[in-house]
Amino acid sequence: MSRRSELAEALDRLSHRLDAACRAAGRSRDEVALLPVTKFFPAADVQILYDLGCREFGESREQEASAKVADTGHEDVRWHLIGRLQRNKSRAVARWAYAVHSVDSVRLAQTLARAVAEAHDEGERAAALQVFVQVSLDDDPSRGGVAAAGLAELADVVADAAQLNLKGLMAIPPLDVEPERAFARLAELRAALTAGHPGATELSAGMSNDLEIAVRHGSTCVRVGTALMGSRPIISD
């Protein structure tokens, strides 16, 4: 089977899964976006998915993403950084990212705001950077995400930055917590966030193994890698 056929069939299966998940949750399919996660896969796969109608892609590492942006060159594609971001990579990310899903500290938010302003001044960017605040569901900073107690402060910093647009929340369920319980907690945190920031309604949650649960708890963006792309072709360093 050709790679195009593999991806086309996987994309069709995912579309049916999302359709069923939305029906089961009593939600419109239009409320939930599928974000293909193409990290570790070649730009050729991105091109195939583009030809199949995809216009948004998720990447985890700045260097790999920057190379793919240059290789594909489609101006109508929106690139999302979904992995943890070191502040020293902010300047590069500000050149190509439509959204960052992993903003988890005030310092990172401030650094990104400065980087976006610089990119704008240099004519490399016109729009604000869309920001999802990553919140920790177990308050373990080693896994990424701001602790729930610091969520309001970080959200205020993002919302107050002219160069950033607060979209909503992102979270990854801890490995030792049932997804149902983790996403229920995330829904509570989302409600608290929108009470202070009514426009921050987006929820980046759910992956290959738990997207149905995430949709049931209000996800508006499921980040899918393995179920679409297959096993990783290279090993992460």
CATH code (residue 18): 3.20.20.10
Strand 97-103: give its sheet, edge to edge. 33-36, 221-224, 202-204, 164-170, 129-134, 97-103, 78-81, 56-59
Q: Indicate whether 235 belongs to any domain.
A: no
Q: Indicate whether 234 belongs to any domain.
A: no
**What tens-digit pLDDT sequence spans the chain (237 residues)?**
899 999 999 999 999 999 999 999 999 999 999 999 999 999 999 999 999 999 999 999 999 999 999 999 899 999 999 999 999 999 999 999 999 999 999 999 999 999 999 999 999 999 999 999 999 998 776 778 999 999 999 999 999 999 999 999 999 999 889 999 999 999 999 999 999 999 999 999 999 999 999 999 999 999 999 999 998 775 544
Q: Indicate whether 122 belongs to any domain.
A: yes
d(CA 233, CA 237): 13
Q: Which domain range does residue 181 map to?
A: 3-229
| Predicted local confidence at residue 237, as pLDDT | 45
Joined tokens for residue 184: 């229920």
Q: Indicate whether 133 belongs to any domain.
A: yes
Q: Indicate whether 236 belongs to any domain.
A: no
β 129-134/97-103 pair status = parallel
195 burial (CB, 10 Å; 0-12 / 13-18 / 19+) is exposed
Q: Indicate whether 91 belongs to any domain.
A: yes
Q: Indicate whether 186 belongs to any domain.
A: yes
Q: How many domains does the chain have?
A: 1
| Predicted local confidence at residue 175, as pLDDT | 87
CB 14 within 8 A of CB 34: yes
**Chain centroid to CA 111: how far?**
19
Q: Indicate whether 98 belongs to any domain.
A: yes
Sign for the CA dihedral angle at 134, 140, 142, 143 comes to negative
